[in-house]
Structures are given as C-alpha cells and as structure tokens.
Amino acid sequence: GFWYMALLCVLFYSAVFPFLKYAPNLMINKFDIDPEWSGVIPALLPFGNILLTPFFGNLYDRKGKGATIMIIGSIMLIFIHFTFSIPMLDNWLVALILILLLGIAFSLVPSAMWPSVPKIIPENKLGTAYALIFWVQNWGLMGVPLLIGWVLNTYCKGPVVDGAQTYDYTLPMTIFALFGVLALIVALMLKAENKKKG
C-alpha cells in the first residue's frame, strides 16, 4: 500500500507541476492568448485548491474513502488532460474551465493521500516514509519536464511566427493524460489492497 501511494504521488504530481511549467506556452500556442497574459489562466489553478482542499480534507476525516477519492482525482486528471489534447477545443473559456477543474482534482488527491500514510506506516518510521515518497516524487518532477521538452522539440515544432517558435501541444497533453491513466490503475490497485488488508 505504501508503494502504491508513492507511485500515485509521483504520477499525479508529474501530471500537474510539469504541466504548469508548460501551461503558459500552451495558452499562447493553442488558445492564442497574448504572451503578456499567458500566465493568468494557469495562475488560477490554486483557487480550486484554496477553496476545496480544506473541504476534501474534512470529508476524508469524517468518511474515510481515501482510495476512492484518489480514483476520482485520477479520472478527473485523465478527462482534463485529454480535453486539453483535442485540437479543435481552442477557446480560452475551455482553458479556464479545465484549469479550474485541475485545481479541484489537485486538491482531491493530496487531501486523501497524505493523511493515509500514517494509517499504514508505524509512527517511528513516518519520517523515512515521507522522505521516500518525496524521493520518488522528485524523480518524476525531474524526468517529466525533460520528457515533455524532448517531445516538443522532436515531434511538435510548428512554423516560426514573428520570430517565435510555435508548438503543437496535442502529443504532450496526451502524455499527461497517460499519467492520469497510470494513476487510475495504481489507485485501483490501492483500493484492492485496502480491501484485502483492511
């Protein structure tokens, strides 16, 4: 169960933080947003977090169902990144709605994942457990931006417009959606492990 949570952590965070690194460029290239304003919509992601993380944390404290909450967050992640990958959905309102939904998904998983660790790890090993989770997470946060950058430069270059290189983000967003699919699989495995071991 611990390793499932560590894998879920790296997959989920890898589909959010590296995405935010490329999000302003996505806003320019796909949604035709002025470069000066390209960071505004991605900056709205924390609003979903601010409003709902305490609510989801309280819900987890009252009802439990941590694995189910993580499954819901993973399904949302797949839907959001898959929708970002559809070329014809290029209106800025679509981007705004998807970023706010991503903020909600991003508040779901951590509010259930972090409190679940002490339920399965003895108190005298919690420091090591959290350190290992962050260690695994940072491999993903190092590797995923490298992967996305390589994919963009190798397969996704468009024409140079006004001296700026353009990119097609369909393939990178599909990769982010695949991280969501893997997160869903791991969350389902975690739920099965929870059912088996109580």
Q: What is the pLDDT of residue 162?
A: 86
Beta bridge mates, 167? 157
Beta bridge mates, 165? 160
Q: What is the pLDDT of residue 148?
A: 96
Chunked into runs of 10 residues, the chain (198 residues) has average pLDDT values of: 90 92 95 93 85 85 85 93 96 95 88 86 94 92 95 95 92 96 93 85
Q: What is the pLDDT of residue 67?
A: 82
CA neighbor of 11 nearest in space, from 139, 129, 119: 139
Place of tokens 């690194």: 21
Whether the full predicted model's pTM is greater than 0.85, yes or no, is yes
Q: Which residues of 144-156 are buried (b: 16+ CB within 10 A; e: fewer)?
A: bbeebeebbeeeb
Contact (Cβ atoms closer than 8 angstroms) between residue 197 and residue 1:
yes
* 197/103 Cα distance (integer angstroms): 32
Q: What is the pLDDT of residue 26?
A: 95
